Structure 1
Amino acid sequence: MQAAEKSQVTIPEIGVVWPGQGGIYAGFMPARNGAEGYHLILGEELGRFEWGQYGDESPATSLIDGRANTLALIESGGQYPAATAAHEHEADGHADFYLPAAAELYEIWLNLNGKLSGWVWSSSQRSASYAFYVYFGDGSQLSYGKTNELRVRPVRRFI
């Protein structure tokens, strides 16, 4: 009996739509803190949303793991419009999107520099009143009041 052949996956060029994966290929997120690295697929812009729960500490404190942040926000039962929009997004049959963490957004900016614009929320809280965002125009990472509306670009992982 022959061993089953592994199917080959063709990874597209960065910035190109990855057919069947729900968005454009935004590059490889390197391994951090013992976690495995993964490919990032950037979904379409969903609109502008508040981050939510101004003045409340949230469970979304990771700067590197947007999936964990998003799940923590959703499971907390609080009102987090940006995370909810990303979490509910579906494309090409995939329903595993999330609001990226600050480090994931920065990695996307590094890889797609010049191909995107605007201010985009991360899932990473800065404080009870502020959350991190990335400005795709120049890669700036700043914090902004959670009641403000910024763009939401969901991501998913391909391992």
Structure 2
Amino acid sequence: MEFSFRFAERKDTALILQFIMELAEYEKLRHEVVADETTLEEWIFDRKKAEVLFVLENGREVGFALFFHNFSTFLGRAGIYLEDLYVRPECRGRGYGKALLKKLASLAVERGCGRLEWWCLDWNRPSIDFYLSLGAEPMKDWTVYRIAGDTLQNLARQPEAFGAEKRGR
């Protein structure tokens, strides 16, 4: 098999959404997807908040990685956070997932980043075993916290909790 990589372009927005939906189905989280083409186009291509890398088999996209830069205060430099990595089921076992991670590692090194990191669902043993085989280390003693949706909106609307308000004035 001949494979290659390419970065997504604006015209790929529908394909990006299709990969996201396929991944969500695999993760049994399809009900959580609210993204649409308009939103993806705005945030990926207009605001440039994420990047998408496709892996192609004989010129056809068979997998993708959606990632963005984060920042480590301890390292004093950016890192790459891998939000999604997905290879279509019929193309798994051919090395595309490893090739995507290797390409992201190369990008991290080229860009001077201090690390490449991601989350993995606890039940996803095939992916966990794959990541461990590459030398990835699970983060012990860390728990992911999230505020989203209505909770995020409510927190943003709360009055400041310091100064006169805190003392009840």
Do Structure 1 and Structure 2 share a fold, with TM-score over 0.5?
no
Which has the higher relative contact order, 1 or 2, with Cα contacts under 8 A spaced 6 or more apart?
Answer: 1
Larger fraction in helix: 2
Q: Structure 2 length normalisation: TM-score?
A: 0.27
Q: Structure 1 length normalisation: TM-score?
A: 0.28
